[in-house]
Amino acid sequence: EVQLVESGGGLVQAGGSLRLSCAASGFTFDDYAIGWFRQAPGKEREVVSCISSGDGSTYYADSVKGRFTISSDNAKNTVYLQMNSLKPEDTAVYYCAAGTELKEAPNYGMDYWGKGTLVTVSS
Burial of 86 (0-12, 13-18, 19+ CB in 10 A): buried
What percent of the chain has pLDDT above 70?
100
Per-residue pLDDT tens digits for 65-118: 999 999 999 999 999 999 999 999 999 999 999 999 999 999 999 999 999 999
Give the DSSP per-residue string, 57-73.
Answer: -EEE-TTTTTTEEEEEE
